[in-house]
Amino acid sequence: MTTPRLQIALDTLDLPAALGPLQKAAKDVDVIECGTILVLCEGYHAVRAIRALFPDKRILADVRIAEAGAKISRLAFEAGADLVSCVAGASLTTIQQVCRVAAEFGAEVQVELADEWYDVERARAWRDAGVQHVIVKRSRDREAAGDLSWKPDDLARIDELASLGFTVTITGGISPKDLPTFAGHPVGIVIAGRSIVEADDPAAAARELKGTIERVWP
């Protein structure tokens, strides 16, 4: 079992608020996520700016494509993204469009799961279409409703998706204390947003997460 990569999620309201913590934490993160909120506020300018500053980092444009897959994904890849995200409720036709464009750029595609949009046959169809990554998440809304737990179903889903050939990403207010919950499960990427971006010392927060990942998945 490989050691997961660490991804920083930048869901700030403007680019300067993202760049401050990113520049401090970048040494210890493997993937930079231009989060949905940041892209909605700043547009693809955010992707271009971060690509210019970090030419060697992998960048995800978390645009959560639901329709117009070819056009939205092409704009993201032209701006410098290595990966784009689709929502699980997107039609298979839309996801296939995104995968075809990604192949032109040598880029990758991620689907963000929601409980009401998951079944294993649907996941197999995504994999056949060319999707490489799937997110298992504890959503912001789930957290806001007071549900801070990771459930056995979440862990079983990680195992099932990895067995289908996906790189499985986990996200949802993750801090170092959450990570032992996933020990022994084939997680490929750990996303941390607020725990790094809002930390008093983003560099130290990223180092702590990276160190915990290496201890949980030695």
> In the chain, what are the domain boundaries?
5-216
Cα distances from 183 to residues 96, 169, 171, 172, 177, in angstroms, run 33, 14, 15, 17, 12
**Which residues, at least 6 apart from 27, have a Cβ–Cβ distance to it below 8 Å?**
203, 206
pLDDT in tens, the chain (218 residues): 799 999 999 999 999 999 999 999 999 999 999 999 999 999 999 999 999 999 999 999 999 999 999 999 999 999 999 999 999 999 999 999 999 999 999 999 999 987 666 789 999 999 999 999 999 987 656 665 566 678 888 899 999 999 999 999 999 889 999 999 999 999 999 999 999 999 999 999 999 999 999 999 99
Quick one: which H or E segment has residue 162? helix 152-163
Quick one: which H or E segment has residue 215? helix 202-216
Rounded distance between C-alpha atoms, residue 126 and residue 18, angstroms: 31
Q: Are strands 187-192 and 5-10 parallel, antiparallel or unpaired?
A: parallel
Report pLDDT for 145. Answer: 57
Report pLDDT for 135. Answer: 95
Report pLDDT for 147. Answer: 63
End-to-end CA distance of the chain: 9
Decide: residue 148, CB within 10 A, 0-12 exposed, 13-18 middle, 19+ buried.
Answer: exposed
Cα distances from 214 to residues 86, 180, 198, in angstroms, run 29, 11, 23
Report pLDDT for 139. Answer: 62
Q: Would the CA dihedral through 71, 76, 81, 87 be positive or negative?
A: negative
Rounded distance between C-alpha atoms, residue 31 and residue 2, angstroms: 16
Provide the CA 94 distance to its chain's centre, in angstroms.
19
Report pLDDT for 172. Answer: 87
Domain at 5-216, CATH homologous superfamily: Aldolase class I (3.20.20.70)
Rounded distance between C-alpha atoms, residue 115 and residue 143, angstroms: 15
Q: What's the CA dihedral at 34, 39, 44, 45 to 10 degrees? A: -90
Q: Would the CA dihedral through 146, 166, 10, 181 be positive or negative?
A: positive
Report pLDDT for 143. Answer: 60
Report pLDDT for 153. Answer: 87
Report pLDDT for 137. Answer: 87
